[in-house]
Amino acid sequence: MRPERVEPGPGQESVWDYPRPPALEDFDGLIEVVFGGEIIATTKRAKRVLETSHPPVYYIPPAHVRGEFVREVAGTSWCEWKGRARYYDVAVGERTVERAAWYYPDPEKRYRQIKNYVAFYPALMDACFVNGERVTAQSGTFYGGWITSNIVGPFKGCAGSNLW
């Protein structure tokens, strides 16, 4: 059963207005990812993927991710839209979070612009920010959406959303 869409207020977006297949768009706001007391990624040149029922996922150019804090690990997953994803562990000092970020080395044609761009699971980081606003992580261990005050749901990943 499809949930009831929350009506967006002024300046807000509903994830139920996002398309399927997902849209890909440039985002020139400030994106920051913090872990272990370090800003491990920062950019004003992100891409965001917008998919029905999901908060945006932000993809950061690889040159804007501090390479000393990410290391590629074995294993892949498959996205029906973007293709095969690979993963990074994130490590700062003695702290390591496994498979905390992902990227597409050879995305499907429609998503070529995010080739090698890095997305982070906000639930696994100390903090992630969009234009200075600390994000809330999308529920569930599979999803990596970033929820800000201008995004309304309900969101895939919450209890009872398996059949949406």
pLDDT (tens digit, 9 = 90+) per residue, 45-77?
999 999 999 999 999 999 999 999 999 999 999
Mean pLDDT of 113-125: 98
pLDDT exceeds 70 at position 28: yes
pLDDT band with cut points at 50, 70 and 90 for residue 127:
very high
CATH code at position 117 = 2.170.150.40
Domain membership flag for residue 154: no
pLDDT exceeds 90 at position 2: no
pLDDT exceeds 80 at position 160: no
- Looking at residue 5, its amino acid is R
8 Å CB contact between 100 and 125: yes
Least confidently predicted of 66-75, 81-90, 139-148: 139-148
Mean residue pLDDT across the chain: 95
Q: Say what percent of the chain tops pLDDT 90.
A: 90
**pLDDT of amino acid 110:** 96
Range of the domain at 88: 13-145
- Token readout for 82 is 């973007």
pLDDT band with cut points at 50, 70 and 90 for residue 105:
very high
Domain membership flag for residue 158: no
Domain membership flag for residue 1: no
φ and ψ of 140, to 5 deg: 95, 160
pLDDT exceeds 90 at position 25: yes
DSSP for 93-158, please give it.
TTEEEEEEEEEBSS--GGGGGGBT-BEE-GGGSSEEEETTEEPEEPSSSS---EE-TTEE---TTS
**pLDDT of amino acid 1:** 66
Domain membership flag for residue 150: no
The number of distinct structural domains making up the chain is: 1
Rounded to the nearest 5 percent, the helix, strand and coil shares of the chain are 10, 45, 45
Domain membership flag for residue 7: no
8 Å CB contact between 89 and 99: yes
pLDDT band with cut points at 50, 70 and 90 for residue 149:
very high
**pLDDT of amino acid 158:** 78
The maximal CA–CA distance of the chain, rounded, in angstroms, is 46
Domain membership flag for residue 21: yes
Domain membership flag for residue 125: yes
- Looking at residue 132, its amino acid is G
Mean pLDDT of 123-131: 98
